[in-house]
């Protein structure tokens, strides 16, 4: 039985739910969940919680990073290359300098319209279901506020349909497809996302991600090691409990906040709890009574 996190390097053409199903079969475990969706076309980091670590998914930090390729001159109904082409306008004279002038408009806190083919719900129905049936228009799609902390140019390829490679760091809920679409609209040629690879997600990096083939090989040799349950939680302040406090906390009792934690701000409402040997115990919420256990991984009966 595995307990911890596995960062999957998601292959193309499958969903996050497909990844969970495939991992359940490989590990022969049912208790598995993922930390955020990733479009079927996209590849890269998909955090997966296994066993008791599924209880920690909601505490993972915000933030994602992508390497994206944007193709200009094409517009599709899905805002990526997998969709139906609805506008085809070659633009061989488009220059990188024209694009560079517009990129600052897409950084910081911005408002964007999600793609029509997305999992957002409107009146209890998924947008992609409404879009497939032709029951949604642009005006029906709710705008959302997102934060983009960086857009860095990686490469520029000229041609009939020039392509821009960019690295994007952003907050959760950001649609890279929308950035591609909106950038193309502002240039007057249209654009669509031609590839997307997530390099970071919620505390997990690509360098620690495994393909399904690698996982299968590790399982054959009994060498699969999952990441620790608190792998993505190191941004949380850590509190070490003595033996008596550990017993009481694991039994569900709130423990007084140590004096050196008396100035906790509103952003530190959760704490990572460890025993004297720095073994991870679970997560506390800061309440008036002290450090109240809300996830105890090793309860004492």
Q: What's the CATH code of the domain at 207? A: 3.30.2350.10
**Same domain flag for 74 and 163:** yes
Torsion (CA) 91, 93, 97, 103 in degrees, nearest 10: -10
Residue 266 — pLDDT band, cuts 50, 70, 90? low
Residue 75: inside a domain: yes
Cα 194 from Cα 157, distance rounded (Å): 13
Q: Are 162 and 94 in contact (CB under 8 A)?
A: yes
Residues 80 and 174 in one domain: yes
Query: What is the C-alpha to C-alpha distance for residues 5 and 233, in angstroms, rounded to an integer?
Result: 11
Closest of 5, 20, 13, 23 to residue 212, by C-alpha:
23
Average pLDDT over residues 193-215: 97
Q: Does one domain contain both 48 and 77?
A: no
Domain count along the chain: 3
Residue 32 within a domain:
yes
Q: What is the pLDDT of residue 269?
A: 87
Residues 175, 258, single domain; the answer is no
Asked if the model's pLDDT at residue 267 lies above 80, the reply is no
In a domain? residue 231:
no
Predicted confidence at residue 131, as pLDDT, reads: 63
Say if residue 190's pLDDT is above 70: yes
Residue 254 structural domain? 236-296
pLDDT of residue 135: 65
- How confident is the model at residue 264, as a pLDDT? 64
pLDDT of residue 117: 73
Q: How far is CA 288 from CA 121, 181, 245, in A?
A: 36, 48, 17
For residue 211, pLDDT over 90 is answered with: yes
Asked, for residue 41, whether it belongs to a domain, the answer is: yes
pLDDT of residue 130: 66
Does any domain span residue 28? yes
Residues 9, 18, 39, 207: which is the catalytic one? 39
Residue 97 located in a structural domain? yes
pLDDT band at 185; cut points 50, 70, 90: very high
pLDDT in tens, 22-62: 999 999 999 999 988 888 999 999 999 999 999 999 999 99
Q: Residue 293 — φ and ψ, nearest 5°?
A: -65, 130
Contact 168, 179 (CB under 8 A): yes
pLDDT in tens, 217-228: 999 999 999 999
Is 214 a member of any domain? Answer: yes
CB 245 within 8 A of CB 255: yes
Do 253 and 210 belong together in one domain? no
Task: Examine the residue annotation and report whether 39 is marked as an active-site residue of this protein.
Answer: yes
| Residue 137 shares a structural domain with residue 189 | yes
Residues 83 and 153 in one domain: yes
One domain, residues 136 and 113:
yes
Please report which residue ranges of 141-297 form alpha helices under DSSP H: 176-187, 212-220, 243-250
- CA-to-CA distance for 90 and 128, rounded, in angstroms? 28
Identify whether residues 74 and 181 lie together within a single domain: yes
Q: What is the C-alpha separation between 197 and 204, in angstroms, rounded?
A: 14
What is the biggest distance separating any 2 CA atoms in the chain, rounded to whole angstroms?
72
Beta bridge partners of 284: 271, 293
Question: 289 vs 144, 293, 295, CA distance in Å?
Answer: 37, 11, 17
In a domain, 230, yes or no: no
Same domain, 144 and 82: yes
Q: What is the DSSP letter of 227?
A: B
Query: Are 48 and 126 found together in one domain?
Result: no
CA 17 to CA 4: how far, in whole Å?
A: 18
């Amino acid at each position: 039985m595995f307990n911890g996190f596995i960062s999957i390097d998601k292959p193309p053409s499958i969903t996050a739910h497909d990844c969970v199903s495939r991992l359940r079969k490989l590990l022969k475990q049912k208790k598995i969940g993922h930390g955020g969706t990733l479009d079927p076309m996209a590849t890269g980091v998909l955090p997966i919680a296994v066993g008791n670590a599924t209880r920690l998914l909601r505490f993972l930090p915000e933030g994602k990073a992508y390497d994206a390729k944007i193709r200009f001159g094409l517009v599709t109904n899905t805002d990526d290359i997998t969709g139906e082409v609805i506008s085809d306008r070659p633009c061989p004279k488009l220059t990188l300098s024209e694009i560079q002038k517009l990129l600052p408009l897409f950084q910081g806190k911005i408002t964007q319209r999600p793609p029509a083919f997305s999992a957002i719900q409107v009146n209890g129905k998924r947008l992609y279901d409404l879009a497939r049936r032709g029951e949604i228009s642009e005006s029906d799609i709710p705008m959302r506020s997102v934060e983009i902390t960086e857009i860095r140019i990686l490469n520029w390829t000229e041609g009939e349909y020039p392509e821009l490679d960019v690295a994007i760091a952003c907050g959760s809920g950001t649609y890279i497809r929308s950035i591609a679409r909106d950038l193309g609209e502002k240039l007057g040629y249209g654009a669509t996302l031609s590839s997307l690879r997530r390099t970071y997600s919620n505390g997990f990096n690509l360098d620690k991600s495994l393909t399904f083939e690698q996982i299968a090989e590790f399982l054959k040799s009994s060498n699969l090691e999952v990441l620790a349950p608190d792998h993505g939680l190191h941004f949380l302040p850590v509190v070490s409990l003595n033996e008596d406090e550990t017993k009481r906390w694991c039994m569900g009792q709130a423990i007084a906040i140590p004096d050196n934690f008396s100035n906790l701000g509103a952003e530190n409402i959760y704490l990572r709890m460890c025993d004297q040997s720095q073994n991870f115990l679970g997560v506390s919420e800061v309440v008036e009574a002290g450090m109240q256990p809300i996830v105890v991984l090793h309860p004492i009966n």
